[in-house]
Copies of this chain bind each other. A is one copy, B any other.
């Protein structure tokens, strides 16, 4: 892993990095911490690792809780090279959207997100390995998945199912839930906070509720607010969820 840039503002250090083909970014407290909890964040479909909403959540997690936050570009997103499959899927999605063919849009979207997850899960695990080698994190730092919605969960759910190091996770709706994602959810037992925008334009509410039902976790909370796919107001969120869970596994909050 190679850190390529470093900038600092308002108590948060931002460092971009590469690991092989993977492009990522880390936010951490300016004052050095020891064995800080590590929180992974994923961006939505078509977006990238420094999408404003993600950056804002990451900075809050650093300044409020002393977390170290890591985000990576999903395959074919942000600074990553697009493969022929990426270009094809993007074209197909555009075409289905233009034609108003919602069924085709849903099926292409599910297939593409499943494929992105297959590529992204081993990438995330390699990134985790690399970060655990850093002395300020270490092999036993508590690790959480900090969201987000849509592609961030289409990748995050299979990741949390595959990765026993993830001790708690925040997921959300806003995407077409494939059989592969449902199957992964049934293998997840760690505490879950799940965010559902109620006025989502494209995705049927029932399919997202079925995903929430599928998690095997005993400790899972669904939080639903009015709001569309791109414009949600997360009032009433239990902001202490991750810090409570990751503290239980050994860390202490700021």
B-contacting residues of A (Cβ < 8 Å)?
A: 193, 196, 198, 205, 209, 212-213, 218-226, 233, 235-238, 241
Contacts and interface: CB of A to CB of B under 8 A. Distances in A.
Contacts of A218: 226
Contacts of A221: 223-225, 235-236
The majority secondary structure among interface residues of chain A is: mixed
A233 B220 CA distance: 10
Nearest to A218: B226
A245 to B, nearest CB: 10
Contact of A193 (B219, B220, B236): B236
Nearest to A196: B222
Contact of A222 (B213, B225, B241): B225
A235 B222 contact: no
Contact of A226 (B193, B220, B223, B233): B220
B223 A223 contact: yes
Given A220-B226, A221-B223, A238 B236 contact: yes
Nearest to A240: B236
Given A198-B213, A213-B198, A223 B236 contact: yes
A222 B223 contact: yes
Most buried by B among A193, A221, A238: A221
Which 8 residue pairs spanning A and B have beta carbons closest together?
A221-B236, A222-B224, A236-B238, A221-B225, A223-B223, A219-B235, A221-B235, A238-B238
A79 B47 CA distance: 60
Nearest to A220: B226
A219 B241 CA distance: 21
A50 B81 CA distance: 64
Contacts of A226: 218, 220
Nearest to A238: B236
A219 B234 CA distance: 10
Contacts of A236: 193, 221, 223, 238, 241
Most buried by B among A224, A225, A238: A224
Nearest to A233: B219
Contacts of A193: 236
Nearest to A193: B236
A196 to B, nearest CB: 8
A226 B238 CA distance: 16
